[in-house]
Amino acid sequence: MQRFPLPTLFLLVLLIAPSLAGSLPDFTELAEENAPAVVNISTVYHKKNPLQRYKLPDDFQLPEKGPLADLLRRFLEGQQEMPEEEMDSLGSGFIISPDGYIVTNHHVVEGADEILVRLHNRDTYSARLVGSDEASDIALLKVEAENLPTVKIGDSDQLKIGAWVLAIGSPFGFDYTVTAGIVSAKGRSLPSENYVPYIQTDVAINPGNSGGPLFNLDGEVVGVNSQIFSRSGGFMGLSFAVPINLAMNVVRQLREQGRVTRGYLGVLIQDLDQGLAHAFGLDHPRGALVSRVLPDSPASRGGIQVGDVILSYDGRPVRTSSELPPLVGSTRVGREVPLVVQRDGRSLELKVKIQALPVQEEKAEKKKALQPPQKEKGDRLGLVVRDLTQEERKELELPEDAGGVLVESVKPGPALEAGLEEGDVLLRLDGRLLKGVGEYHALVRKLPAGAEVPVLIQRPHGPLFLALRLP
């Protein structure tokens, strides 16, 4: 190993340092040009004083004298003097048109009685809520002003992992704070978030940044900063932004019709593990496995079947099941979309006409009472099963033609190793519909030793495929 004297090392550092500094991005011009189009948003929530809910009947006669009369009189006088409580909230946003349209997060303005927008020059406006969409966490505001500075809208589909990005916002109320980082991942699916393929970054985002813009190095907005993952309430290196392509689609619909319409396919899907991938004839886990096709849906009319693995949608590959809902949701209603599915070991191309996502009422949680398991010996899968009663079928919302047998007991064996539980309903085994216990036992006897077969089960939260490996 060659050693250099200290003077030589010092000279090398002086020569290399400028080249390293030159390779890092310079955000000064980007921040200076775009800060005027970023706004601070404060909201006011009027909260009734809790004492104001108490009111004496109109015909109530106050006593004229005594301690009770003085107490009631002071109480009533104090109630009239108590003002409404005001609660403030803070967020960010950005101007997309010179006539005052502003994008922010739904959760920043949700339920607000007043929305105030403060510009970079400290001018403050009262904003009107044009529309808001909880599913995408996007809201559109309007202020009465002209010739406002605006941001440039970019293309989030062209954003690459590892690219530099910059955020401008008001974390903890500190106006026009600039933070930078890189794109850590794309297409992130968060819990209870079905329609947003989030951009994950390591840009420092904190409360107050919500609704602010995420810029690329060309000074274009590629995302709307929305969420952080944190155990402490502050930044921990995991920040999430709504892709600007999705956000602007929501904005367009809010401007045109005041609400958002999403595409609807009508399937329940799940991911595949290695066992399921082999069971369905795939070389490795990919795609979205269809565990249920809803009746009278675009999927049922388009020929999609239970057990199909959706590999691509509208020409875009589907790597995981979480990638499919955002693609379907952003599809224009009425459009016919091509899909590629894997069925029985071969690829098929289908065409499905997308409908609008129906508005469904929330269903109350159901309590399921199962009969106690019988102490019987399990079959070669390790299962004890029986036919479903009409009440159980109705409770699970299973039609007669859906088949199914109820798992009463799970003994040590392939079923237990695959994850089956007492109370599961077996709907399909190795692609065959199970119409009763007799057909189930006949099929189990015919399963080849050493085979890996898919089994479709029904649980209270929905259908699920598992992979069974026979000894």
The 10s digit of each residue's pLDDT in 269-294 is 999 989 899 888 898 999 999 999 99
Q: What is the pLDDT of residue 387?
A: 86
Measured CA to CA, the distance from residue 159 to residue 169 in angstroms comes to: 21
pLDDT in tens, 5-14: 656 656 665 6
Judge whether residue 1 has pLDDT over 60.
no
Catalytic residues, by residue number, are 107, 137, 210
| DSSP secondary structure, 153-215, as one string | E--GGG--TT-EEEEEE-GGG-TTEEEEEEEEEEEE--TT--S--EEEE-S---TT-TT-EEE
Q: What is the pLDDT of residue 375?
A: 47
Asked if the 263-356 domain carries CATH number 2.30.42.10, the reply is: yes
Are both 152-257 and 263-356 of the same fold? no
> Is this model's pTM higher than 0.85 or not?
no
Tell me the residue type at 435.
Answer: K
Judge whether residue 85 has pLDDT over 70.
no
Q: Backbone phi, then psi, for 224, in 5-degree steps? A: -115, 115
Q: Which CATH superfamily is domain 383-469 in?
A: PDZ domain (2.30.42.10)
Q: What is the pLDDT of residue 367?
A: 34
Judge whether residue 178 has pLDDT over 60.
yes
SS3 assignment, position 310: strand
Q: Per CATH, which fold does 33-55+72-142 belong to?
A: Thrombin, subunit H (2.40.10)
Q: What residue segments make up the domains of the chain, in order of their start?
A: 33-55+72-142, 152-257, 263-356, 383-469
Measured CA to CA, the distance from residue 204 to residue 462 in angstroms comes to: 38
pLDDT in tens, 221-271: 999 999 887 666 667 778 999 999 999 999 999 998 888 989 999 999 999
Judge whether residue 369 has pLDDT over 50.
no
What integer best gives the mean pLDDT of the chain? 84
Q: Backbone phi, then psi, for 337, in 5-degree steps? A: -120, 135
Measured CA to CA, the distance from residue 10 to residue 3 in angstroms comes to: 13
Measured CA to CA, the distance from residue 223 to residue 207 in angstroms comes to: 17
What is the enclosing helix (H) or strand (E) of 298? helix 298-302
Q: What is the pLDDT of residue 442?
A: 82
34, 168 Cβ separation under 8 angstroms: yes
Q: Which CATH superfamily is domain 152-257 in?
A: Trypsin-like serine proteases (2.40.10.10)
If pLDDT is split at 50, 70 and 90, which confidence band does 4 have?
low
Judge whether residue 305 has pLDDT over 70.
yes
Percentage of the chain exceeding pLDDT 70: 80
Judge whether residue 312 has pLDDT over 50.
yes
